[in-house]
Structure 1
Amino acid sequence: MATEARAYSTPRLADYLQESRREIKELYKSHNSWTAILRKADLVEDPAPSEEEALLKRVHSFLHVDDPQRAHAYLRLLSDDAPAYGTLAPADKTYAHTLFFNLWDNAGGFTSFQQGLDSLRSQRVFRDELRQVLTYVIERSDHFPIPLSGPHRHIPLQVHSAYNRSEILAALGVARFGGQMPRSFAQGVQWVDDARTDALLITLEKNERDFSPTIRYKDYALSPTLFHWESQNATAEDSRTGLRYQQHAQQGSNVLLFMRRYKNNDIGKSQPWMLLGPATYVEHTGSKPMAITWRLKHELPADVWTYSAIAAG
């Protein structure tokens, strides 16, 4: 790729991809980056500052960004004249959190969001690459995001947009200083007390290598608006959690479904989840695990409905 970049003699990612007819994901296999390619091609003169290499290894985790609001918020935070964290509106502060934890899923040794964002000021080349990536992917997004409403209207997540673990936990307020770090999150369910919401993170197709038989839950779409989901094995129908699932509407709590098809994508990175949106309890059978049918507020996109139904076998 460095030879190609040198031949095309362009530092712009979009131009290179057009000339080479490569897909952007090809650049980010095995911790590669556009900046690394440019440096090998002698097209970047700036010396690499400390921490640049580690940050460049995180660029792949932004390839899924597919809603303009989030992309533009990230672009503002990555600009040369980025606003101070303390001056941001609430929604933009949440975007700062999702950006921060997407770059440093264990807080990176920082003690505040401003400290982390300040550290990016010296990372001119990294910020330029990430801005190019965000601009490129958002121009090619093929889903139509829907803002959350009602009790979730203050959370800047978009229905039918894709989010990784760090973004989900940060947006819901779970990932925070002094709290849980995204790196340590492994389960597929999360009760968010402040938002009174159960977040269910679903992987449809579970292979034997990544999922033991005890956690190979049967999750699939029954229709564009109905979804079959199995709880954790320890959840009994008469337990506190089991009753909350059944009675969430009466108790004033909520359910958000996030779904992905596979654990990893085709370049070996963790696949993000699509936010399916709010769901309401319809019925269930069994206990430990509970097989629950949820009704989605928003219909599944046609392509998602197709592969979600296939998962039913």
Structure 2
Amino acid sequence: KFSSFFHIDSKRLLDYWLAYLKMPKEASNETERLMLGMLYYSFYKKKPAQLGFKDLHEGIKDFLKEDFVKEELMDVLRYQLSQLTVLPEANEYPFTCPLEVHCHYNVNQIMAAFDYFNQDQSPEFREGVKYFADKKTDIFLINLNKSEKDFSPSTMYEDYAINAQLFHWQSQSQDRPASPKIQRYIHQGETGNLISLFVREFKKQGNYTAAYTFLGNADYVSSAGERPVSFVWHLHQAIPASLLAKANKAIAL
């Protein structure tokens, strides 16, 4: 039941969640509000009102109403804190977002961090790409190794690291260069639109859905072809060596 926490390696997030669980209180700033949403959506997929809760706090409280469950979760978070090896870097967003570059997050946590999942909404999300128009930010959720069991032939894209800062990525299979979305990607440097990459090696890790490594922002380098369009992106922050070895050779099978 706590599999959504086994990958968490952001000290800031762990510290806040532990402090909140010891003494629940209203968020004192925008970052805390978003981190509280990330905690709620680590338990649930639907917004509070859909599940009969007044707010995020009530949902969290209900999930942890048994003392032993709350203690068990705090033990998991303390353990994660004791095992930290990632040296996170700050994100470059001009808006508030608690994500730290090179830390790991699942889809719900990412959506809550961008305020797409929050107190009042939790829209359906199944795509590997998402545009947050209010933030002028596109995010790409990338699976490096794709198995035919999990992906249809039309989604067996070739996504891989060329080197520590260049990443080859393919758009969705129906995309043409002239489409507004692809044009937005190509001209992101001129328009100030942000592109962020999230990568995981496999869809599953054991019995659990794997989390993504947040690679930070990237700039357009080149594109070619259509249906899908192949892109090369230049990451602002180099891919960590431990992930690079996997991302470099993880071309779709």
Quickly name the TM-score band, shorter chain normalised.
over 0.9
1:94 lines up with 2:16 in the alignment: no
Residues 230, 291 of structure 1: 8 Å contact kept: yes
Gaps in structure 1 of 5+ consecutive residues: 1-56
Counterpart residue type for residue 108 of structure 2:
S
How far 1:122 sits from its partner (Å)?
A: 2.9
How far 1:141 sits from its partner (Å)?
A: 2.1
Corresponding residue SS for 2:134: coil
How far 1:61 sits from its partner (Å)?
A: 1.0
> CA 1:104/1:150 → structure 2, altered by over 3 Å: closer, same or farther?
closer
Which residue, 268, 273, 278 being the options, matches 2:217? 278
How far 1:156 sits from its partner (Å)?
A: 0.8
Which residue, 72, 75, 80 being the options, matches 1:129? 72
How far 1:120 sits from its partner (Å)?
A: 5.1
In the alignment, the residues of structure 2 paired with residue 62 and residue 179 of structure 1 have an alpha-carbon distance, to the nearest angstrom, of 22
Gaps in structure 2 of 5+ consecutive residues: none
1:234 lines up with 2:174 in the alignment: yes
Percent of aligned positions with the same letter in both sequences?
Answer: 29
RMSD value, Cα: 1.6
**Match of 2:101?**
159
Which residue, 194, 205, 210 being the options, matches 2:150? 210
Number of equivalences: 249
- Tell which deviates more after alignment, 133-142 or 164-173: 133-142
Counterpart residue type for residue 235 of structure 1:
D
**Match of 1:307?**
246
Q: Which has the higher helix share?
A: 1
Paired residues for 1:137-156 under 5 Å? 137-152=80-95, 154-156=96-98
Corresponding residue SS for 1:137: helix
**Match of 2:161?**
221
Residues 160, 274 of structure 1: 8 Å contact kept: yes
State the Cα deviation string for residues 90-131 of structure 1 (Å, max 9, x = none). Answer: 111110000001111123602422322343563321111111
How far 1:75 sits from its partner (Å)?
A: 0.7
State the Cα deviation string for residues 56-90 of structure 1 (Å, max 9, x = none). Answer: x2x111000101101011112211x221x2x4211
Q: Which has the higher strand share?
A: 2
In the alignment, the residues of structure 2 paired with residue 112 and residue 236 of structure 1 have an alpha-carbon distance, to the nearest angstrom, of 42
Corresponding residue SS for 1:198: strand
In the alignment, the residues of structure 2 paired with residue 124 and residue 278 of structure 1 have an alpha-carbon distance, to the nearest angstrom, of 41
What stretches of structure 1 move > 4 A for 4+ residues in a row?
A: none
In the alignment, the residues of structure 2 paired with residue 195 and residue 125 of structure 1 have an alpha-carbon distance, to the nearest angstrom, of 40
Counterpart residue type for residue 225 of structure 1:
Q
How far 1:150 sits from its partner (Å)?
A: 4.4
In the alignment, the residues of structure 2 paired with residue 247 and residue 201 of structure 1 have an alpha-carbon distance, to the nearest angstrom, of 20
How far 1:234 sits from its partner (Å)?
A: 2.0
- Normalized against structure 2, the TM-score is what? 0.93
State the Cα deviation string for residues 259-285 of structure 1 (Å, max 9, x = none). Answer: 00000002x110000000001100001
Residues 111, 177 of structure 1: 8 Å contact kept: no
Corresponding residue SS for 2:94: helix
In the alignment, the residues of structure 2 paired with residue 76 and residue 119 of structure 1 have an alpha-carbon distance, to the nearest angstrom, of 18
In the alignment, the residues of structure 2 paired with residue 119 and residue 293 of structure 1 have an alpha-carbon distance, to the nearest angstrom, of 46
- Normalized against structure 1, the TM-score is what? 0.76
State the Cα deviation string for residues 233-280 of structure 1 (Å, max 9, x = none). Answer: 1221111100000011211210110000000002x1100000000011
**Match of 2:235?**
296
> CA 1:178/1:92 → structure 2, altered by over 3 Å: closer, same or farther?
closer
**Match of 2:58?**
115
Corresponding residue SS for 2:87: coil
How far 1:177 sits from its partner (Å)?
A: 4.5
